[in-house]
Amino acid sequence: MSNVRKPDFNDYGKMPPHDINIEENVLGYLINLDKMYQDALFNILKPEFFYNESHQKLFKVFHQLYLNDTLNLLSIINECKQQGILDEVGGPAYISEIKKYTVKKIKTAITHCKHIFQKYTQREIIAITTNSSRLAYDEEDIKKNIETTINKLNKLYEQNNDETVTDQQNAADESLKDIINKSKRNIKPYYRTNIDGIDDLLKISGENVMIIAGKSGSGKTKFLSYLMYKLLTNNPDDIEVSWYALEDGKNKSQRAFISMLTLLTDDDLQSKSDRILSENDIQRIVDAHEKIKHFPIEWHTNRKFIRDIEKEFEVFVNKKEKSKLKILIVDNLNKLSDTGRTQLDRDIIIGEAVGDMHDKYLNKDNIIIILIHHYSDEQLDKSNLNNAYMPTEKNVKGSGKYREISTQLLLTHNPGQFNDLVIRYSHASDILKRLFLVSIPKNRGGSLGNIKFFMSLEYNIFEPFYFKKQ
């Protein structure tokens, strides 16, 4: 669970609840079962559910190999050897021994996984309450101790509560509680950007998963920087951002902010152009820096697995005020460390994690998840020339999993990227090269439609001049 101090179980004269034999059985199942059944078990289990530390380490190795579709006896031994933990986990003999555990019915395997989780839950209850008892002797802030203990027990309860059926009275009670809680949270219904079309159609608000998709190099990341700049400057005390800049890093986004304010290009700011920065230019850069340096953004640049981001975002959310909008940005999905046997496998892994994050905070906290993604090569097909290569939902790269989890979908389009389109409409080529289109085919709680911008990617400026509801 969390950073709860584990009790000294010797004080009770009892061993903590566990079942080593079942843990060994389940590890054996994971080696021997077909991929589709492995999926079910990996969706239930986490390393910390295992009592035995060697089993925790083995499970982590198993999961890593499973994601790479290489989970077998030889690969397990080699990976443990490479990580320097082979002796710690019992050596080749022990790994070969647990491989002998097989199961005929997946139902039995799932039952055993739930048994492991039950033992883990018992240990956590003991740890939480013991920790609370110790603090009660020393800590003067009793209320804080009670609140902390209740919150941790509630999280544990939620992990154990998989009931999905409820009667009308309970449903009505939950709805009333939700309405009252939301009325007390002092949360804005939506957050203004002062961008025509965005505020009219999109209406940025919490509890959404927004996907911004676009062709490589089309300006979608710069558009995101422009959007976030407008959000943060118009809601200076209401938003906190956790930004995973996995493709271009944090410096490119900083320069994008500065370009907007100084009308200096990215090349100018990196001394890659013919322009020599004057004292006036430097002063404008310093002034821009003063405006952006207090933006409430935490930057992350190392590639990660989506489940690691999920855990880090939970820490981020828990330390921020409930009333504030917490935004998670992942730019972009292609740069995540997650892998799979097929593109569909990878999409499912990432999509399920994002869906879990959204569900975790639904009606409980004020969050938006923004994912940057690409189009498939189908958009580039020459048959789309007559339609000006306008993207559709089906052009979003990968399976339909991302479209399924999104509540807001923004399809960006820079027609000036397509040479044959510019040649066909040569009389309007200058306009095409400055045109940036955003279509919104999916928008829970808002309107569908299209927004047209005149853009200058050099200066990271997007000026809306037309929008239309569908």
Per residue in 242-258, pLDDT (tens digit) is: 999 998 888 888 999 99
Residue of 183 and 317 predicted with greater confidence: 317
List pLDDT tens digits, range 130-174.
Answer: 888 888 887 667 888 888 888 888 888 777 765 444 455 666 666
Please report the pLDDT score of residue 1 as a whole number: 39
User: What is the third-level CATH fold of 9-160?
Assistant: DNAb Helicase; Chain A (1.10.860)
The pair of three-digit structure tokens given for residue 422, joined into one six-digit string: 């510019």
Residue 438 makes CB contacts below 8 A (sequence gap 6+) with: 197, 223, 410, 411, 412, 413, 450, 451, 452, 453
Identify the DSSP state of 396.
Answer: B
CATH 3.40.50.300 in the chain, residue ranges: 198-469
Q: Which residue has the tokens 């996984």?
A: 113
Q: Where are the beta strands (DSSP E) in 233-324?
A: 239-245, 297-300
CA atoms of 443 and 203, how far apart (whole Å): 9
CA atoms of 43 and 36, how far apart (whole Å): 11
CA atoms of 233 and 217, how far apart (whole Å): 26
CATH 1.10.860.10 in the chain, residue ranges: 9-160
Count of Cβ atoms closer than 10 Å to residue 239 Cβ = 23
301, 245 contact by CB (below 8 A): yes
Q: How much of the chain exceeds pLDDT 70, in percent?
A: 90
Q: Which residue has the tokens 């189009």?
A: 375
- Residue 332 backbone phi and psi in degrees, to 5: -130, 175
Please report the pLDDT score of residue 112 as a whole number: 92
| Cα–Cα–Cα angle for 74, 76, 82, rounded to 5 degrees | 105
CATH code for the structural domain at 198-469: 3.40.50.300
List pLDDT tens digits, range 372-394.
Answer: 999 988 878 888 888 888 998 88
Across-strand partners of 331? 245, 372
Sign, CA dihedral 214-216-217-223, equals: positive
CA atoms of 214 and 196, how far apart (whole Å): 21
Residue of 279 and 338 predicted with greater confidence: 279
Per-residue pLDDT at 457 exceeds 70: yes
Residue 192 makes CB contacts below 8 A (sequence gap 6+) with: 199, 234, 235
